[in-house]
């Protein structure tokens, strides 16, 4: 894993991103060279080529990111891979065509040369992906990990590895029993206490040790041996830090207040808040102009289909626990909560109108929240704001739930792009783990990544209800 602006990115994805960027650069040179029978015969009007190639490569990489091709679950079957690549390059053709029209002098390269470059880029990226997937399956390229502990915490690691399969970035060599007799992991994966820890680490060529021991008092931790391992360059990780890095969330089962207090992250500051507010103001203004036709058309359809207000106003809890009124397009019948009791949205909810189903699936119902962003009650990116009733109930049942209110709520967030729609206490608990990761590590870079990934959530209907 590589940490970039506090955000963890799998090293395989970084390498893939860089390799495909270079391939796309080369594809433009190749396409132009093929069209004009060599770079030497290039017309002077097309020089210099490097800025054009850089713009082409950057546009394609951003579009591929938006289509989920650099997501954490980045292994796709061939059919899905071809679909996403085809859509990415199709959109790339339209975007680059628009750029050629707006900036003809610095960017224009000719239709024939561009089509050759596009075809070369698509073919080379597809072949690279197939080779890269096979290459990253090699165990020798994964981090070799030893887990201390065999209890329920260690079992969470095994569960994670089972879900990921060959896509995991690590290879867990086994679990050290640490004197325990009740094992929650497979017995054939457990190392006993007859071999000193340092000998075991050397024999297995361990690169990283993860501490998954719940009780560390009374000699429960081999501190001198762990110190020796650390001084010899072997990384030692708390379980909370391990899950933060590998899953992109803070695992509540392994979280404790001291780790949150003494660790890094959870930073706030005037500069960070100012940059985020300026970003929200500029882009909310632009989006209100761009989406005005969609907003007007949606308002007309809602009014046409059913009686009641066009906008749905509801009190939500914002930053520092302050209530505010959120705006959404009404997607349900006016009597959706006629008994006065707040309810979670359900799968195939029968309270939803026909227009409501469409605007929920496409996330158009969220567009009026741009006004909330413009007014400063919300940000584009942050934990989704909940209703006061649910917040009071969730705070009773879920530890650290109030921590998500230390940043402004958002239209989209890390939990929204990493987890499906939440409509229960269990879902709220899972989503809180991602929200806490965002609160701990939020930056403008992570916000931009979330906004790009939100595109694929809308495109593929992920989590819509």
- Identify whether residues 130 and 145 lie together within a single domain: no
**DSSP reduced 3-state for 138:** coil
Q: Which of 11-15, 175-179, 339-343, 414-418 has the lowest mean pLDDT?
A: 339-343
133-147, 152-166, 327-341, range with greatest mean pLDDT:
152-166
Looking at the structure, do residues 279 and 316 belong to the same domain, yes or no?
yes
Do residues 145 and 171 lie in contact, with contact meaning Cβ atoms separated by under 8 Å?
yes
Q: Report in angstroms the alpha-carbon separations of 416 from 42, 123, 327, 382, 456.
A: 48, 32, 18, 10, 11
* Confidence (pLDDT) at 350: 62
pLDDT greater than 90 at residue 70 = no
Instruction: Give the residue among 53, 72, 449 at the shortest CA–CA distance from 249.
Output: 72
Q: So what's the pLDDT on residue 160?
A: 87
- 22 and 121 housed in the same domain: yes
Tally of CB atoms within 10 A around 433 = 24
Higher-pLDDT residue of 363 and 123 is 123
SS3 state at 158: helix
CA-nearest of 196, 210, 252 to 435 is 252
Total domains present in the chain: 3
Averaged pLDDT, 288-293: 94
Residue 227: domain span: 141-247
What are the pLDDT digits (tens) for 16-29?
Answer: 999 999 999 999 98
Give pLDDT, residue 262.
Answer: 82
7 inside domain:
yes
Report whether 256 contacts 402 (CB < 8 A). no
CA distance 454 to 278: 21
Q: At CA 363, angle to CA 362 and CA 366, rounded to 5?
A: 155
Closest CA to 91 of 127, 58, 67: 67
Q: Are residues 410 and 446 in the same domain?
A: yes
pLDDT at 61: 95
Q: Is 265 part of any domain? A: no
The last residue of a domain, from among 90, 105, 135? 135
pLDDT tier, 242 (very low <50, low <70, confident <90, very high otherwise): very high
**Domain assignment of residue 263, yes or no:** no
* pLDDT tens profile 398-409: 889 999 999 999
Q: What is the pTM of this model?
A: 0.86
The answer to whether residue 40 scores a pLDDT higher than 70 is no
Shared-domain flag, residues 232 and 277: no
Buried b (16+ CB within 10 A) or exposed e, 196-230: ebbebbeeeebbbbbbbbeeeeeeebbeebbeebe
Q: Within a domain: residue 421?
A: yes
Q: Is residue 366 part of a domain?
A: yes
**pLDDT digit string, tens, across residues 319-368:** 999 999 999 998 887 655 555 566 655 555 667 888 888 888 888 999 99
Query: What is the C-alpha separation between 173 and 140, in angstroms, rounded?
Result: 12
In a domain, 6, yes or no: yes
Q: Are residues 285 and 426 in the same domain?
A: yes
Same domain, 203 and 74: no
pLDDT of 424 higher than 80: no
Whether 110 and 148 map to the same domain: the answer is no
Tens digit of pLDDT for each residue in 198-236? 999 999 999 999 998 876 665 568 889 999 999 999 999
- Model pLDDT, residue 94: 92
Which among 110, 135, 160 is the end of a domain? 135
The CATH number of the domain holding residue 156 is 3.40.50.720
* pLDDT of 281 higher than 90: yes
Nearest to 417 by CA among 72, 10, 12, 58: 72
Instruction: Select the more confidently predicted residue: 65 or 165.
Output: 65
Residues 321 and 212 in one domain: no
Q: Which runs of consecutive H residues, i.e. helices, occur in 320-443?
A: 354-361, 369-375, 388-397, 414-418, 425-441
* Domain assignment of residue 381, yes or no: yes
Residues 303 and 194 grouped into a single domain = no
Q: What pLDDT score does 97 carry? A: 86
> Mean pLDDT, the chain, as a whole number?
86
Share of the chain above pLDDT 70, in %: 88
Q: Where among 135, 162, 192 does a domain terminate? A: 135
* Domain match, 173 and 295 both: no
Residue 357 lies in a domain: yes
pLDDT the model gives residue 403: 92
For residues 91 and 182, state if they share a domain: no
Residues 386-410: b if buried by 16+ CB within 10 A, e if exposed: beeebbebbeeebebbebbbbbbbb
């Amino acid at each position: 894993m590589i940490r970039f602006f506090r955000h963890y990115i799998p090293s395989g994805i970084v390498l893939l991103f860089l390799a495909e960027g270079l391939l796309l650069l080369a594809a433009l040179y190749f396409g132009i060279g093929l069209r004009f029978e060599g770079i030497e015969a290039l017309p002077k009007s097309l020089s210099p080529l490097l800025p054009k190639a850089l713009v082409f490569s950057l546009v394609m990489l951003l579009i591929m990111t938006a289509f989920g091709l650099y997501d954490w679950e980045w292994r796709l079957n061939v059919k899905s891979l071809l679909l996403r690549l085809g859509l990415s390059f199709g959109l790339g053709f339209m975007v680059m065509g628009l750029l050629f029209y707006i900036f003809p002098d610095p960017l224009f390269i000719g239709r024939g040369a561009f089509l050759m470059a596009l075809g070369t880029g698509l073919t080379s990226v597809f072949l690279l992906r197939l080779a890269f997937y096979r290459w990253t399956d090699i165990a020798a390229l994964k981090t070799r990990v030893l887990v201390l502990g065999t209890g329920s915490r260690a079992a969470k690691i095994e569960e994670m590895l089972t879900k990921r399969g060959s896509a995991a970035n690590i290879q867990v060599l086994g679990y050290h029993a640490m004197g325990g007799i009740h094992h929650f992991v497979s017995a054939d994966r457990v190392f006993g206490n007859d071999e000193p820890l340092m000998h075991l680490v050397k024999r297995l060529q361990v690169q990283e040790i993860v501490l998954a021991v719940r009780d560390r008092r009374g000699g429960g931790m081999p501190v001198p041996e762990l110190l020796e391992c650390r001084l010899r360059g072997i990384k030692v990780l708390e379980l909370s830090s391990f899950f933060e890095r590998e899953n992109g969330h803070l695992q509540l089962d392994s979280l404790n207040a001291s780790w949150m207090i003494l660790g890094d992250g959870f930073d706030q500051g005037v500069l960070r808040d100012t940059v985020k507010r300026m970003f929200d103001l500029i882009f909310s203004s632009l989006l209100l102009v761009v989406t005005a036709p969609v907003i007007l058309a949606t308002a007309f359809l809602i009014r046409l289909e059913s009686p009641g207000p066009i906008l749905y106003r509801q009190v939500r809890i914002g930053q520092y626990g302050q209530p505010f009124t959120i705006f959404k397009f009404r997607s349900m019948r006016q009597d959706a909560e006629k008994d006065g009791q707040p309810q979670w949205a359900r799968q195939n909810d029968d309270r939803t109108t026909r227009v409501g189903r469409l605007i929920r699936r496409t996330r158009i119902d969220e567009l009026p929240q741009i006004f909330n962003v413009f007014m400063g009650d919300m940000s584009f990116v942050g934990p989704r704001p909940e209703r006061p009733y649910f917040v009071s109930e969730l705070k009773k049942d879920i530890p650290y739930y109030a921590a998500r209110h230390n940043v402004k709520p958002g239209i989209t967030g890390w939990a929204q792009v990493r987890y499906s729609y939440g409509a229960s206490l269990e879902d709220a608990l899972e989503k809180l783990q991602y929200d806490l990761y965002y609160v701990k590590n939020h930056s403008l870079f992570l916000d931009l990544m979330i906004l790009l990934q939100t595109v694929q959530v809308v495109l593929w209907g992920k989590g819509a209800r």
